Amino acid sequence: MQFGIFGVGDIAPDPVTGIPRSEAQRIQDTIRVAKAADELGLDVFAVGEHHNPPFVASSPPALLGYLAAETRQILLSTSITLITTNDPVKIAEDYAFVQHLAQGRLDLMLGRGNTAPVYPWFGQDIRQGIPLALENYHLLHRLWREDVVDWDGRFRTPLQGFTATPRPLDGVPPFVWHGAIRTPEIAEQAAFHGNGYFANHILAPNFHFKPLVDFYRQRFEHYGHGRAADAIVGLGGQAFIARKSQDAYERFRPYFENYPMFRGSRLEQVAEATPLSVGSPQEVIDKTLTFQEGFGDYQRQLWALDLGSMPVEVVLEQVELLATEVVPVLRKEMDSRRAPGVPDAPTHASLVKATYGDGPSRQARPRPNRGDNTSGALPYLDSAA
């Protein structure tokens, strides 16, 4: 079971001063939080992708590449890479590069996002969102697994004899999670490829997305990847923790009430009706254990801890409480309740082992089909071979 945190780089006005953090400060704060999560032994740090204010997370590959050098053990991920408005060729190359920088500590969550204007900003039509997502991932899947790709689809120019560079580390692509909360077609695609399915259910009623998770599990089994219980499921959550429940509500309330998404809502009601966990470490533990009861055994739990205007010092307190008071208990409790044979979330090491057994991993070499862009000359290493 993997436990970690995720964010989307949002900025909101401080509830006391009314002044938001600068973009520069928000980025530096995110780095501090990721490094603290690594030092405290959390398993995953994930960052989303947004291209509109009040978000700063427009370039996850840049941030994750930097964090690859600044962290030592935590697995780096995205908590969404936009598969609809990013060119799959660029996704393939950017994240293979980060995978090398992180020495395998990288996986990827793909999704359509929830910001409608982003489609025309990147030359796409939101009415084609689902076909775009399906076709673009099909190309990405091939680019990471085939050294030479010929491609002709609906939404991008054809490819002839194309090799994405660098090739994935050890010839093993980053593991992919498909993030979706509305779309059975995406759950179907995840199941077809044996990929993971991530339901970020933080704003919906408790267990609202259980039918989609169950559908994904059934289709995972249908395509021969294992039992439905073996399907790779991740869940999102949101938490604010204090030693005493009353203190948690009192401290979190100003940030909650000031945040545009929750404005007009009552904190106690939202905490009861949705996966938002507010309270003592034990209350957060108890709430998270209901996820396992409702969705079945799953492989990854991520929490959002850094609501837009929250000072980084408060977020760092949250990370420490989560890592030292909540996660150790959840590891023990969820493992004890876990059904026999349910697999762990894939890692680079486990995927290399599954691919090569005890043999050596594949080492990519320059390919003769990709010559000099100007002259067409072959790379010298190939011409000298």
Share of residues in the chain with pLDDT > 70 (%): 94
Of 71-80, 288-297, 360-369, which gets the smallest average pLDDT? 360-369
183-193 in b/e form (b: 16+ CB < 10 A) is beebbbbbbeb
DSSP codes, 45-67: EEE----STTB--S-HHHHHHHH
Give the pLDDT confidence score for residue 364 in this predicted structure. Answer: 64
Whether 35 has a pLDDT exceeding 60, the answer reads yes
| CA dist., res. 190 & res. 185, Å (int) | 9
Q: What is the pLDDT of residue 181?
A: 80
For residue 178, give the H/E element and its range.
Answer: strand 176-179
Contact between 141 and 95 (Cβ < 8 Å): no
Range of the domain at 359: 2-383
Query: Residue 32 corresponds to which tokens in the numbers above?
Result: 């501090």
Q: What is the identity of the amino acid at 353?
A: K
Q: What is residue 373's predicted lDDT score, i.e. its pLDDT? A: 44
Taking only the tens place, the pLDDT of each residue in 90-141 is 999 999 999 999 999 999 999 987 777 888 888 888 888 899 999 999 999 9
* Alpha-carbon dihedral angle through residues 326, 328, 330, 333, given to the nearest 10 degrees: -140
The confidence score (pLDDT) of residue 368 equals: 54
Exposure pattern of 141-166 as b/e (b: 16+ CB <10 Å)? bbbbeeeebebeeebeeebeebbbee
User: What confidence tier does 54 reach under pLDDT thresholds 50, 70, 90?
Assistant: confident
Q: Are 193 and 199 in contact (CB under 8 A)?
A: no
Model pLDDT for residues 140-194, shown as the tens digit of each residue: 999 999 999 999 999 999 999 999 999 999 999 999 999 988 889 999 999 999 9
Report the alpha-carbon distance of residue 20 to residue 277 in Å, rounded. Answer: 25
Output the pLDDT for position 120.
Answer: 87
> Cα dihedral angle (120, 122, 128, 129), rounded to 10 degrees?
-110
pLDDT confidence of residue 362:
74
Number of folded domains in the chain?
1
Neighbours of 341 (CB within 10 A): 10
Which domain CATH number covers 108?
Answer: 3.20.20.30
Whether residue 304 contacts residue 238, with contact meaning beta carbons closer than 8 Å, is answered with yes
Nearest-angstrom CA–CA distance, 109 and 80: 5
Q: What is the mean pLDDT of the chain?
A: 92
pLDDT at residue 88, rounded to an integer: 97
pTM over the 0.75 mark: yes
Q: Considering only the C-alpha atoms of the chain, give the largest distance between any 2 of them, rounded to a whole number of Å.
A: 71
Here the contacts of 355-362 (C-beta below 8 Å, separation 24 or greater) are 355/170, 355/171, 355/172, 356/170, 361/170, 361/171, 361/172, 362/170, 362/171
Strand partners, 233: 197
384 falls in which pLDDT band (50, 70, 90)? very low
Measure the CA–CA gap between 224 and 374, rounded to whole angstroms. Answer: 46
pLDDT band at 58 (very low <50, low <70, confident <90, very high): very high
Q: Which pLDDT value is given to residue 262? A: 87
Q: What angle do CA 260, 274, 257 make, to 5 degrees?
A: 30
The Cα 269–Cα 271 span in angstroms is: 5
| Mean pLDDT for the stretch of residues 244-268 | 93
